[in-house]
Structure 1
Amino acid sequence: MYAQEFSKLWQKISKDLRTYMETELAPTLTEGQLNVLEYLLAHEQVKPSDLIEYVSTTPAAVTTLLDRMEKNELIARERDEADRRIVWIRLTAKGREEGMRGSRIRQQFLEQVLNRISAHNQQLLIYLLGKISKQ
């Protein structure tokens, strides 16, 4: 009964967020790159394979994404000392800065959207979204 209305609203919010993020992150960052940077902000180092599920993509796409990020000095790739087959991905200072900037940009958008409703309704919305996201 409400699925179609929910779908339209979800698509609108998602599109607005994507458009805002693309505009505000440009020209130094994409939203896909921001997702990787945020993951790296939470982890000291990761292997490229750790990112596949997190960014919901293929190994080839992760490699391409990391190539661009390395070229833009957002990340550094380092071979493991003990096992040269393993490559570790680490944030650079620029990557850390850009990741934090991107997180602030997303936070600002979400606060603007949520501030259209009362604090009580924000809490209720988050609660209800939590209920449906756990299915």
Structure 2
Amino acid sequence: MYANDFSKQWSKLTKEYKSVMDDALAPSLTESQLIVLEHVAEYGRVKPSDLLPHLATTPAAVTTLLDRMEKNALIMRERDQADRRIVWVSLTAFGEQEMKRGISIRETYWNSLLDRISLHNQQLLLLLLNKLTATPSSSANREASAETISSHS
């Protein structure tokens, strides 16, 4: 099996990606903030709870992130007119500008890596990554995966 080699290469790739993104986005943006901006742009406006699955963090951490983003004029929060308990998050013009800058930085980084391999291999890599990140369709698939993992331990 290639698990150990894959793990090393994946760690190297993600470490480099994080370093490049952190340096290039600073000081006005972080990668987590970029994820929020993209999600808000896609849906127009969102509730803070809508962001949880995309950030894999706690509600308190999302609130802290949004506080910082609002302070830096990336987003705006408004109470729902019909239900004051609901808070809507939307982009500011500066937030949209920073999102476009962040997307451009990310695309430049990935293009510089992907240009090292043929278009065919890029398609194959994407196909394989999609297979690896696909959510198992049933609990039976998850159980089978868990059994496979435990049998190899």
Q: TM-score, normalised by structure 2?
A: 0.86
Q: Secondary structure at the match of 1:89?
A: strand
Q: Which deviates more from structure 2 when the two are superposed, residues 121-130 or residues 101-110?
A: 121-130
Q: Aligned AA for 1:92?
A: T
Deviation (angstroms), 1:71 = 0.2
What is the Cα deviation at residue 6 of structure 1?
A: 0.4
Q: Which residue of 2 aligns with 1:53?
A: 53
Equivalent residues in 2 for 1:14-53, closer than 5 Å: 14-53=14-53
Aligned amino acid, residue 113 of structure 1: L
**Distance in structure 2 (CA, Å) of the matches to 1:75 and 1:8:** 37
Gaps of at least 5 residues in structure 1 are none
**How big is the shift at 1:100?**
1.1
Q: CA RMSD in A?
A: 0.8
What is the match of residue 72 of structure 1?
Answer: 72
Q: CA deviation at 1:10?
A: 0.5
Cα offsets for 1:2-57 (capped at 9, x unmatched)? 00000011111101110000010001001111110111110110001111111110
- Highest RCO, 1 vs 2 (Cα 8 Å, sep ≥ 6): 1
Aligned mates of 2:28, 2:99 — CA distance in 1: 11
What residue number does 2:88 align with? 88
In 1: Cα distance, 2:56 partner to 2:6 partner: 23
- Count of residues in Structure 1 that have an aligned counterpart in Structure 2: 135
> Percent of aligned pairs with the same residue?
58
Q: Which runs of 4+ in 1 moved over 4 A?
A: none
